[in-house]
């Protein structure tokens, strides 16, 4: 059984890279290219983790995080901001909006999966893979 990660990202290159790395590590990735699509998908699939870009078309990632947190079915799902916003206060703003973690872009392909898994708690092993 694959564990599903919802990736809300509008940049095709970033989405491809994140998807490639996660799938290589045994995760199923469901992409959403804007916040509204991400909110709708999250309610339907109940992922184990949501990776959320902050700079999205339409509604920004902060608005998306608040909307996701308003859904009781997603209370325990970690939301990790994956963003190029790296100024003083950006991490705090993401956390205040409901994100449970923060990963800066550009992502480091050598550490990305481990960075993501830190937000999953103890569920980091799947049969056949060291995650």
The residue whose two tokens read 């003083």 is 88
Q: What is the dihedral of CA 25, 128, 28, 57, to 10 degrees?
A: -20
Tell me if 22 is assigned to some domain: yes
pTM (predicted TM-score): 0.90
Domain count, the chain: 1
Q: Which domain holds residue 94?
A: 3-119
Tell me if 125 is assigned to some domain: no
71: region left, alpha or beta (phi > 0 left; psi from -120 to 50 alpha): beta
Q: pLDDT of 118-128, one tens digit each?
A: 999 754 433 33
Q: pLDDT of 8-64, one tens digit each?
A: 999 999 999 999 999 999 999 999 999 999 999 999 998 999 999 999 999 999 999
């Amino acid at each position: 059984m694959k564990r599903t990660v919802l990736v809300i990202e509008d940049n095709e290159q970033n989405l491809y890279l994140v998807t490639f790395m996660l799938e290589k590590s045994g995760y199923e990735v469901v992409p959403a290219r804007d916040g509204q699509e991400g909110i709708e998908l999250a309610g339907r699939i109940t992922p184990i983790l949501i990776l959320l870009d902050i700079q999205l078309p339409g509604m920004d990632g902060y608005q998306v995080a608040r909307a996701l947190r308003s859904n009781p079915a997603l209370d325990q799902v970690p939301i990790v901001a994956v963003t190029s916003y790296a100024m003083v206060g950006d991490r705090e703003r993401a956390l205040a909006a409901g994100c449970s973690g923060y990963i800066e872009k550009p992502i480091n392909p050598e550490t990305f999966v481990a960075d993501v898994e830190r937000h999953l708690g103890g569920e980091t092993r799947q049969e056949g893979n060291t995650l």
